[in-house]
Amino acid sequence: MGAEASFREEDFFGREDELSALTRAALEGSRGIGSSFMIYGPPNIGKTSLLLKLAKQLVATAGTDGLPRPFPLYFSFSQILSHPLALSQHFLQEFLSQLLRFLGDAHPSTFDPASMCDRLASFGITGCREVLAAHERCTAEGDGLSALVNALSFPFSSSGELFYPVFLFDDFQYTGKLQGVPEGAMLSILRPYIKSGHFPMFISGSSPGRVTAALKREGLFGTFQMIEVGGLSTDSSVRLWRYLCERRRVDIPASLLPRASERLGGIPAYQRMLVEEIFFRSAKVPDAVTLENLYAVSVTEGKLNRYWREFFENTFPDRARRGRAIRFLKRVLCDRFPLDTVEGAISLMGSSQEEGEAILSALEFKGLLKADLDHLTFVGDPVLADFLYWAFERGVLGKGTSQVTAAIVQARLSRTAPEPGQGGDHARRVAIVKELMRKWDLREVPLLLLDFGMFREKFGGKGLLEIVIGMEREAVRVRLPKVSSVSTGYRASRGGPRFDFDLVAYGFLEGDFSEENLVIWAVDVAVEKNLGPRAVEHFENRCRLLALEKGLPQDRLRKWMILNETADAATVELASRYGIHLSHPTQLRLFLNLFGLEELERDPEPARSPGSEVPRSGKTLEYELVLPIKADSEVVAARVAEEVAAFAAVDADTVDRIKMAIIEACINAFEHSASESGKVRLRYLLSPDKIELFVQDDGKGFRPGKTPEESKKNRGWGLKLIRELVDDVEIVTGPDGTTVHMVKNLGGDPADPGPVRQGAGGLGSPEEH
Amino acid sequence: MTPYKTIHIREEGDTLVVSVGGYLNSLLGEEVEKVVSANLDIGGRRILLNFQGTRLVNSIGISFVIGIVEKVMEREGRMAFCEVSRINRDLFRVTGLAKYVRSFDSEKEALDFLSGNA
């Protein structure tokens, strides 16, 4: 749409087969055996470029044997003008000026039809004045249909020895929307010419359903051959990449180009947009992660995003309807909701029949879906899918753009799950490391425990006892953080893949739990016997993304890989270059020994907290947090709850409820527990259908009497609010302290979390808890 | 001192507009109560609490708001809330606050209401 103005022939790559078929058909028009084509495909795929390239090729073919030459007339219906009079006028002007150019006039006086007529007469083409006069007459009478017949027939009546017209009609679906003219009128007018075989026509549009239906009604369907335009082949797409990058002086290794092509579905327009984006942002793409980042930035806030945002704004000017359409498409294209019927689509949209049909019809018109009878097929466009993901996450779930960007990048880089059969041992080793990290508590240990290269150099081939003694003398030591929470299986069960580390620990460099002291340790426990450079690269990439998402400075993300058996020198070197700590099983044993954990071989998680009976299905994620009893530290608990909920794609309102509930539970624990340790322990269990929160203190439980705080008037809302905010609350007081167990179900309709129940009490009269 | 305490006050005609930002906990609640009381003491009778910037609320914060409402009612003043998020609106309903104080979508509507234009 409007793309013809910006078409650059030198940008055109590939599509050799289509071009040769179309060119042959056009040339066969001279002998009356030319066939017509219907070219279709999703928006932006390059249909217009294909037509324009064909036009250039046809102009370049010299006429032979004294036969008339094909005159390609490119005309796009998108920029009109739904009134047939205006359309006719525009068509005549285009025809005259393009024909004059074809005949050799460099600059025809485009806006003066009369003088163009005179020029044409000098080439021996007559009848132009009469056609213009007829157009005037129709205009005066307001007869749009006659004006169309008059204008569309002229190219054929004026053809002869010199040329024959080949129509290249773009965005043809718009002809179904002309005012006061029956749908299919255009085809009725053109029908005899199409049938003749002398005037091959190429009709292009993103909405084949409508056009083919019109062709069928006119009995023309069999006359047309169909060509579906898809993405470029990898080879052509790579050639286009090379060309674009060279022109924009974008520095990108050739090895990345096939990946980049696949990323964009081989769609040339996207390639152009992304190259421009890269050019403006950095002009350098050293590796795949940078490429994925630049792509994700473009699709969430840059050119690719703008393209689709405008597309949806134009297609659905009404905001609510746009939202509904985006949500619907997101379900189909991103979540791959299996759907192929109109009824199914409307019920998935959850809208009225009328609105659902209007949305489907608009999507069909714009080429995002094909409707064949009642069978729906949706476009497979990776960039559109990522855009929809962005729109959904941001618009519906209210996430920040950088969060979404990171998730998109991660989705592309996430690795596959470990091989079955290795899980058991792996899970046990992960659990051991988790237990170890929990005990760190600001202690200092020899740096050698975390540096496999140095360790091997110093102790390679030596006995364990010798090593232990040697270690004690180690002067270079490193201070470990105080770890406040360690999460296992950092992988989402819903809402797309995330940073799948084996462990992610949140710690603090000093005893004070403040933002300035925060440090995150990302840990992978190797599955493969011999760690290779690829695994290290992959780990490093994920770490960079984690740092990006969390906005962490370099030194606040620590990277640690634990070997299964060994690693070769090159891998060790690579890890050290990336600043990744590497530990051999022997080092790990020494490490555990330092913290009195070497015997830990059984279930490393003794069942000591309430709720441990929750089945550990593969889909449950568990997080823990230890909070100091300190003003406002409940905000940290709320923030963690928000992060946890983000894994389940929970709607913003439910997240608010969960946050509020956990804040109240923490405040209660702070106020009532009289805890001895000065700490409150939290657990978050996320499963597909619910989130469970445990807030445990080691104090004496909720005392029935009034605390000084509570005796303040108007207080005591806490538990009442919790009951309103979550679906289930249970308070268990035992010898070890009190636990508030809260359950919020996630299964409901995310669009309607349901209002909080109306309280019966009057102002300032809460129920006792 | 808590990093979450932000409060801005200004006067619109004879209405005191208190914008409550960040985390409405006991400290911030107390602060709001203080400025409202001071205003009532010098004869102010129209109070508008703007919750646009309020990210989090806890029950102690709400109890302070209840205290403020009681004070304003005692002095026969007029009070309104505006820009209350959905969750906070629900909480105000549960605590019964919503029955005594009207909430408006925009500050302008609330000011019109307080000055008797609506």
Q: pLDDT band for position A498 (50/70/90)?
A: very low
For residue B3, the chain A residue with the least C-alpha distance is: A632
pLDDT at B36: 94
Total Cβ atoms within 10 A of residue B15: 22
Both A197 and A153 in one domain: the answer is: yes
How many whole angstroms separate alpha carbon A579 and alpha carbon A506?
A: 19
What pairs with residue A508 in β-bridges?
Answer: A482, A518
Both A161 and A209 in one domain: the answer is: yes
pLDDT at A747: 64
Interchain contact, A763 vs B93, CB within 8 Å: no
pLDDT at A614: 34
Both A550 and A536 in one domain: the answer is: yes
Region B2-19 average pLDDT:
82
For residue A754, the chain B residue with the least C-alpha distance is: B90
Express each pLDDT in A693-708 by its tens digit: 999 887 655 544 444 4
Higher-scoring residue by pLDDT: B8, A400: B8
Q: pLDDT band for position A181 (50/70/90)?
A: confident
Long-range contacts formed by A175-183: CB under 8 A, 24+ apart: A175/A77, A176/A210, A176/A211, A176/A214, A177/A82, A178/A82, A178/A83, A178/A84, A178/A87, A178/A144, A179/A82, A179/A83, A179/A84, A179/A144, A180/A84, A180/A144, A180/A145, A181/A84, A181/A144, A181/A145, A181/A148, A183/A214
Q: pLDDT band for position B63 (50/70/90)?
A: confident
pLDDT at A573: 92
Residue A6 has pLDDT above 90, yes or no: no
How many whole angstroms separate alpha carbon A125 and alpha carbon A159?
A: 8
Region A619-643 average pLDDT:
84
Instruction: Retrieve residue A205's tokens.
Output: 């549009």
Residues on chain A touching B86 (C-beta within 8 angstroms): 653, 656
Last residue of a domain, one of A286, A320, A353: A286
Half-sphere exposure of A741 (CA within 13 A, CB side): 13
Both A273 and A317 in one domain: the answer is: no
Specify the number of domains making up chain A: 5
pLDDT at A759: 41
Is residue A583 situated within a structural domain? yes
Q: pLDDT band for position A768 (50/70/90)?
A: very low
Residue A464 has pLDDT above 80, yes or no: no
Is residue A320 situated within a structural domain? yes
Is residue A758 situated within a structural domain? no
- Mean pLDDT, all residues of chain A: 79
Residues on chain B touching A722 (C-beta within 8 angstroms): none
Point out the least confidently predicted range of A37-41, A551-555, B66-70, B108-112.
Answer: A551-555
- Mean pLDDT, all residues of chain B: 88
> How would DSSP label each residue in A316-358?
--SHHHHHHHHHHHIIIIIS-----BHHHHHHHHTS-HHHHHH
Region A681-703 average pLDDT:
80
Q: Which of A40-44, A407-411, A575-579 tops mean pLDDT?
A: A575-579
Region B86-113 average pLDDT:
88
Residue pair A231/A266 in contact (Cβ under 8 Å)? The answer is yes
Residues on chain B touching A635 (C-beta within 8 angstroms): 4, 23, 56
pLDDT at A493: 33
Q: pLDDT band for position A80 (50/70/90)?
A: low
How many whole angstroms separate alpha carbon A418 and alpha carbon A538?
A: 14
Amino acid at B44: G
Is residue A570 situated within a structural domain? yes
Q: Buried b vs exposed e over A7-24: b needs ≥16 C-beta within 10 Å? A: beeebbbbbeebeeebbe
Residue pair A668/A696 in contact (Cβ under 8 Å)? The answer is no
How many whole angstroms separate alpha carbon A492 and alpha carbon A497?
A: 6
ipTM attached to this prediction = 0.86
Interchain contact, A664 vs B2, CB within 8 Å: no
Nearest to B63 among A664, A717, A756 (CB): A717
Percent of chain A with pLDDT strictly greater than 70? 84
Residue A748 has pLDDT above 90, yes or no: no
Cβ neighbours of residue A594 closer than 8 Å, sequence gap 6 or more: A443, A445, A449
For residue A633, the chain B residue with the least C-alpha distance is: B2
Interchain contact, B96 vs A715, CB within 8 Å: no
How many whole angstroms separate alpha carbon A58 and alpha carbon A53?
A: 9
Residue B13, burial from CB neighbour count under 10 angstroms (0-12, 13-18, 19+): exposed
pLDDT at A102: 86
CB distance from B4 to chain A under 8 Å?
yes
Interface test mutation site (partner A, options B4, B6, B58, max chain A beta carbons within 10 A)? B58
Interchain contact, B58 vs A764, CB within 8 Å: no
Q: How far is A389 from chain B (nearest CA, A)?
A: 25
Region A378-384 average pLDDT:
85
Interchain contact, B59 vs A721, CB within 8 Å: yes
Task: Indicate the angle between helix axes A303-315 and A319-329, nearest 10 degrees.
Answer: 120
Residue A152 has pLDDT above 60, yes or no: yes
Both A276 and A408 in one domain: the answer is: no
Region B37-42 average pLDDT:
93
Nearest to B66 among A653, A664, A763 (CB): A763
- Residue at token pair 């071009």: A19
DSSP H helices, A105-177, are 113-122, 128-141, 144-158
Residues on chain B touching A763 (C-beta within 8 angstroms): 66, 69-70, 95-97, 99-100
Interface test mutation site (partner A, options B60, B70, B99, B100, max chain A beta carbons within 10 A)? B60
Which CATH number covers residue A58? 3.40.50.300
Interchain contact, B94 vs A634, CB within 8 Å: no
For residue B25, the chain A residue with the least C-alpha distance is: A632
Percent of chain A with pLDDT strictly greater than 90? 7
Q: pLDDT band for position A753 (50/70/90)?
A: very low
pLDDT at A575: 94
Both A466 and A568 in one domain: the answer is: yes
Express each pLDDT in A724-747 by its tens digit: 889 888 888 877 778 899 999 886
Is residue A720 situated within a structural domain? yes
Cα distances from A183 to residues A173, A368, A525, A655, in angstroms, run 10, 22, 65, 50
Higher-scoring residue by pLDDT: A607, A554: A554
Nearest to A764 among B2, B57, B66 (CB): B66
Residue A23 has pLDDT above 80, yes or no: yes
Both A339 and A396 in one domain: the answer is: yes
How many whole angstroms separate alpha carbon A491 and alpha carbon A501?
A: 8
* Nearest Cα residue to A196 out of A32, A410, A418: A32
Model's pTM, two decimal places? 0.48
* Nearest Cα residue to A242 out of A522, A537, A10, A577: A10
pLDDT at A210: 74
How many whole angstroms separate alpha carbon A410 and alpha carbon A87?
A: 49
Interchain contact, B23 vs A720, CB within 8 Å: no
Residue A459 has pLDDT above 80, yes or no: yes
pLDDT at A408: 75
Task: Indicate the angle between helix axes B86-94 and A652-672, nearest 10 degrees.
Answer: 50
Instruction: Retrieve residue A674's tokens.
Output: 């009289």
Both A203 and A325 in one domain: the answer is: no
Half-sphere exposure of A339 (CA within 13 A, CB side): 24
Is residue A753 situated within a structural domain? no
Q: Is residue A77 helix, strand or coil? A: coil
Residues on chain B touching A718 (C-beta within 8 angstroms): 59
Both A27 and A125 in one domain: the answer is: yes
Range of the structural domain that residue A336 is part of: 305-413
Residue A1 has pLDDT above 50, yes or no: no
Interface test mutation site (partner A, options B57, B85, B87, B92, max chain A beta carbons within 10 A)? B87
Region A14-37 average pLDDT:
83
Residue pair B33/B66 in contact (Cβ under 8 Å)? The answer is no
The Cα angle at residue A687 between residues A685 and A689, in degrees rounded to 5: 125
Is residue A751 situated within a structural domain? no
Both A542 and A672 in one domain: the answer is: no
Reported as type and span, the H/E element at residue A656 is helix A652-672
Both A20 and A60 in one domain: the answer is: yes
Region B39-43 average pLDDT:
92
CB distance from B43 to chain A under 8 Å?
no
Domain locations in chain B as residue ranges: 5-114
How many whole angstroms separate alpha carbon A451 and alpha carbon A586?
A: 12
Is residue A240 situated within a structural domain? yes
CB distance from B90 to chain A under 8 Å?
yes
Q: Which CATH class is domain B5-114?
A: alpha beta
Region A418-426 average pLDDT:
47
Last residue of a domain, one of A413, A444, A476: A413
Residue B37 has pLDDT above 90, yes or no: yes
Residue A280 has pLDDT above 60, yes or no: yes
Q: Which of A366-375, A394-403, A624-633 tops mean pLDDT?
A: A624-633
Interchain contact, A667 vs B69, CB within 8 Å: no
Both A474 and A344 in one domain: the answer is: no
Amino acid at A305: N
Region A522-526 average pLDDT:
90
Higher-scoring residue by pLDDT: A493, B23: B23
pLDDT at A62: 64
pLDDT at A661: 93
> How would DSSP label each residue in B5-34?
EEEEEEEETTEEEEEEEEEESHHHHHHHHH
Point out the least confidently predicted range of A107-111, A337-341, A641-645.
Answer: A337-341
| Sheet strands side by side (includes A690-697) | A621-628, A679-687, A690-697, A737-745, A728-734
